[in-house]
Amino acid sequence: MRVATYYNNNTVKLEERPVPQIGPHEILVKTIASGICGSDVMEWYRIKKAPIVLGHEITGVIEKTGSAVTTFKQGDRVSVSHHVPCNTCYHCLRGNHTVCHTLHTTNFDPGGFSEFIRVPQINVDRGTFILPDTVSFEDGVYIEPLGCVIRGLRSSGFRAGDSVLILGSGISGLLFLLLAQALGAGKVFTTDISGYRLKMAQRLGATAVLSAGENIPEKIKNQNNGRLADIVIVCAGALAAYDQALKSVECGGTILCFAPTDPNTKLVIPANDFWRNAITILPSYASSPLDTKLAIELIDSKRVPVSRLTTHRFGLQDTDKGFKLVAEANESMKVIIEPQR
């Protein structure tokens, strides 16, 4: 089978590998669509594992099932999660599925930028979901990133009517925009350094789009009855965005740290202001099976219209072009690879 192997952001090669052999409790999935995630082009993070076949936002059709698999059959349309929790450890039982050791060590084989993937038993059990006939394979690639966004917004304590500021209008930022709108946010503001992304956020209905270089706190106050934002979501990995978040959150509000920074970055918090103003600062990483199920429902119902975010599609042989587009972060949003083209 063909795979697109990642060496670095500028070198993704089309190579040949054997089709994975499955065990009795496993399934083989023919990959139909695979989205390129922003994390796929975090070179400092990915290059230490290179060469590697990436791709974790996938949909496909079951090509073959192991002899002991009874919950799925050949021909089923599916979405498959690459990371799944054990559901039995200390952290899972406390609802903290995304810090589960199993979640951090599970994956499918070899990765979504390939014609076929082998789905291990644990991923079959708690990470394989039937894709409704009313959801296209292309829209299905958003299930994984939307699940992460659902978990983030839920953990922030968001309530209908809250004002929301999203720092960074890439895919994650725009998914937060669409989700916040669907759940009844009062006002949703977005920022970015890219005019292209700001125009996209504007088309999607943001209350206001702001250049990251502006006086964001003042702009928010002017359009939010003199108040800062109840929820500030950091979807940009620059330290400046985190500093901006600390200045833009209303007393009693929450800063959700969604985007990672470079590994050695330190965040300086003005401790007295943080204490006096009752600010909550929390992280959000990955998603749980429950978040995945909710994502499927929101996409299927069109409450979160993800198809509006797709800008480019490539066959597997042009995966390198897709990676360059995402890494450059210019005039593209979601780039989807179609391995069967």
Per-residue model confidence (pLDDT) at position 117: 98
Tell me: do 258 and 334 sit in the same domain.
no
Tell me: do 202 and 82 sit in the same domain.
no
CATH code for position 165: 3.40.50.720
Tell me: do 216 and 94 sit in the same domain.
no
User: Crossing angle, helix 289-300 and helix 143-155, to 10 degrees?
Assistant: 110
DSSP state of 99: G
Question: Is residue 312 within 8 Å of 335, Cβ to Cβ?
Answer: yes
* Burial grade of 2 (CB within 10 A; 0-12, 13-18, 19 or more): middle
Q: Point out the domain boundary residue: 262, 283, 304.
A: 283
Condensed to tens digits (0 to 9), the pLDDT of residues 71-117 reads: 999 999 999 999 999 999 999 999 999 999 999 999 999 999 999 99
| pLDDT beyond 90 at 231 | yes
Mean pLDDT value across residues 311-328? 98
Q: How far apart are CA 339 and CA 322, in angstroms?
A: 13
| pLDDT beyond 90 at 20 | yes
CATH code for position 136: 3.90.180.10
Task: Give a yes or no: residue 152 inside a domain.
Answer: no
Condensed to tens digits (0 to 9), the pLDDT of residues 153-174 reads: 999 999 999 999 999 999 999 9
Residue whose entry in the numeric block shows the structure tokens 């050695």: 264
| pLDDT beyond 90 at 256 | yes
Task: Give a yes or no: residue 151 inside a domain.
Answer: no
Tell me: do 227 and 100 sit in the same domain.
no
Tell me: do 308 and 278 sit in the same domain.
no
Q: How far apart are CA 238 and CA 240, in angstroms?
A: 5
Tell me: do 291 and 279 sit in the same domain.
no
Q: What is the rounded average pLDDT for all residues in the chain?
A: 97
Full residue range of the structural domain in which residue 241 is found: 157-283
Tell me: do 50 and 7 sit in the same domain.
yes
Q: How far apart are CA 178 and CA 201, in angstroms?
A: 9
Cα 142 to chain centroid, rounded = 8
Tell me: do 8 and 126 sit in the same domain.
yes
Per-residue model confidence (pLDDT) at position 313: 98
Task: Give a yes or no: residue 272 inside a domain.
Answer: yes
Residue whose entry in the numeric block shows the structure tokens 């400046």: 240
Q: Which has more confidence, 120 or 263?
A: 120
DSSP state of 55: -
Task: Give a yes or no: residue 213 inside a domain.
Answer: yes
Tell me: do 104 and 218 sit in the same domain.
no
Q: How far apart are CA 65 and CA 75, in angstroms?
A: 10
Tell me: do 231 and 129 sit in the same domain.
no
Q: How far apart are CA 297 and CA 331, in angstroms?
A: 29
Tell me: do 295 and 262 sit in the same domain.
no
| pLDDT beyond 90 at 274 | no
- Residue 291's SS3 state is helix
Tell me: do 109 and 236 sit in the same domain.
no
Measured over the CA atoms of residue 249, residue 255, residue 256 and residue 261, the dihedral's sign is positive
- How many separate domains does the chain show? 2
The CB density around residue 204, as the number of other CB atoms within 10 Å, is 18
Listed residue (252, 251, 253, 255) closest to 167, CA to CA: 255
Condensed to tens digits (0 to 9), the pLDDT of residues 202-226 reads: 999 999 999 999 999 999 999 999 9
Per-residue model confidence (pLDDT) at position 99: 97
The upper half-sphere exposure of residue 193, i.e. CA atoms within 13 Å in the direction of its Cβ, equals: 10
